[in-house]
Amino acid sequence: MTKKLAALKSALGNATPEVAPEPTAKTYAAPSREGKAHVGAWLSMGYKSSINAILVKYPTRTKESLISEALNDLFTKYNVSVIRQD
């Protein structure tokens, strides 16, 4: 057993760690996503249905605007700063 352990230590001591190569090309991101972050959660289908029902009733709204409004309401409830909507 000690010979195997010594051989393993010797092999590990002589190994050079592999370094991942630096990425050469930047991945594409749509200009509309610049300066934004994805915030998501896995929720039951009822949430999706309700959001879609609101979108049908108010066709000028977007999912992004509805979720932003809901999050700002949550921030107000917990007394943290709200985010200005563009």
Bin 79: left if φ > 0, else alpha if -120 < ψ < 50, else beta: left
Task: With respect to residue 25, please indicate whether it lies within any of the assigned structural domains.
Answer: no
Task: With respect to residue 2, please indicate whether it lies within any of the assigned structural domains.
Answer: no
Task: With respect to residue 78, please indicate whether it lies within any of the assigned structural domains.
Answer: yes
d(CA 82, CA 71): 8
Bin 33: left if φ > 0, else alpha if -120 < ψ < 50, else beta: alpha
Specify the number of domains making up the chain. Answer: 1
Question: Would the pTM of this model clear 0.85, i.e. be above it?
Answer: no
One-letter amino acid of 75: F
d(CA 20, CA 56): 48
Question: What pLDDT score does 84 carry?
Answer: 87
Running along the chain, 86 residues long, what does each successive block of 10 average in pLDDT? 79 71 77 88 96 97 95 97 85
**Residue 18 three-state SS:** coil
